[in-house]
Amino acid sequence: MGDASSPAGGPRGAARPDRSSPLPLWAQVRDDLRGRLTDGEFGADGAPFPGELALVEQYGVSRHTVREALRSLRAEGLVVAERGRPPRLAVPAEIEQPLGALYSLFASVEAAGRTQRSVVRVLDVRADGVFAARLGLEESAPLLHLERLRLADDEPLAVDRVWLPAGLAAPLLHADFTHTSLYDELALRTGVRLTGGREVLRAVVPTAAERRLLGIDADVAAFAVDRLGLAGDRPVEWRHTLVRGDRFTARAEFSAREGYRLDLAGAGRELSR
């Protein structure tokens, strides 16, 4: 690629591709952009990442070439390039949860310096044989159902759906879940505190309706977290949470001496999800 001209000590700028090189144009653009990213030309202390048209002008190539370069950088996790939106730098997942611990999504959001807020989509009592059975109840047993869109700094983070025995959880119908956790309200209004449970985390492809709720495009994956919450030996909660994969990470710990362990140091923390 040709030499980039820039003021001494300033950003080096774009280097135009060498059309006589055997390396495809898109790969040359990708490599140069990767170098500019490494040099810190873009980001918090630099300029905003250029849009597609700006890159077309900087490199003197077609929009298709720019898109191929961005697609490769996106595959490396360096940029986020979504249809209908300008490309931007990828950032590490903002919310981290320990595996194998009684954790709090509410607390983890605020521990990351974000403001947690929920939009309640459903709060009612209904019958649902599938979830009643998962709670060890008769299929006709009434359940309290709570569905929330969880926000971090007013940006969608998760869709959270919970079912609890209505005979136990009916006082929650009067709770304001805008800025509080389910478990805090459950303890305050019923005296019940969760002591443990079972949880399964898996990667999923969200439905079109779920993508709209979460504000993500079709190429962004999500985590599905299914939890059975227990108070002693009694099932009191079935929860299905769909979390944006670009804002969430799960953490486990291991060592050569102790082997694989799931955040045992945090296992005693009280639930406040």
pLDDT score of 245: 82
The region of weakest confidence among 25-39, 75-89, 215-229 is 75-89
**Given CA atoms 181, 182, 183, 184 in this order, what sign does their dihedral have?**
positive
Q: Is the pLDDT of residue 228 over 60?
A: yes
pLDDT score of 218: 82
Closest CA to 183 of 222, 239, 140, 138: 239
CB atoms under 10 Å from CB of 230, counted, come to 15
Confidence of residue 89 (pLDDT cuts 50, 70, 90): low
pLDDT digits (tens, 9 = 90+) for 196-217: 888 888 889 899 999 999 988 8
The answer to whether the CB of 216 falls within 8 A of the CB of 208 is: no
The token duo for 122 is 């459903």
Q: Is the pLDDT of residue 10 over 70?
A: no
Confidence of residue 21 (pLDDT cuts 50, 70, 90): very high
Q: Is the pLDDT of residue 8 over 50?
A: no
The answer to whether the CB of 14 falls within 8 A of the CB of 2 is: no
Q: From residue 206, how far is each of 117, 140, 155, 221 by CA, in Å?
A: 22, 29, 17, 7
pLDDT digits (tens, 9 = 90+) for 46-56: 677 888 899 99
Confidence of residue 264 (pLDDT cuts 50, 70, 90): very low
pTM (predicted TM-score) = 0.61
Q: Is the pLDDT of residue 6 over 60?
A: no
Query: Greater confidence, 22 or 92?
Result: 22
The answer to whether the CB of 193 falls within 8 A of the CB of 231 is: yes
Closest CA to 267 of 138, 136, 100, 142: 100
Q: Is the pLDDT of residue 57 over 80?
A: yes
pLDDT digits (tens, 9 = 90+) for 103-142: 556 556 655 667 788 999 999 999 999 999 999 999 999 9
Q: Tell me the average pLDDT of the chain.
A: 80
Q: Is the pLDDT of residue 4 over 50?
A: no
CA distance 101 to 273: 12
pLDDT score of 103: 52
Full set of structural domains in the chain with CATH: 25-89 (1.10.10.10), 95-266 (3.40.1410.10)
The token duo for 211 is 């993508």
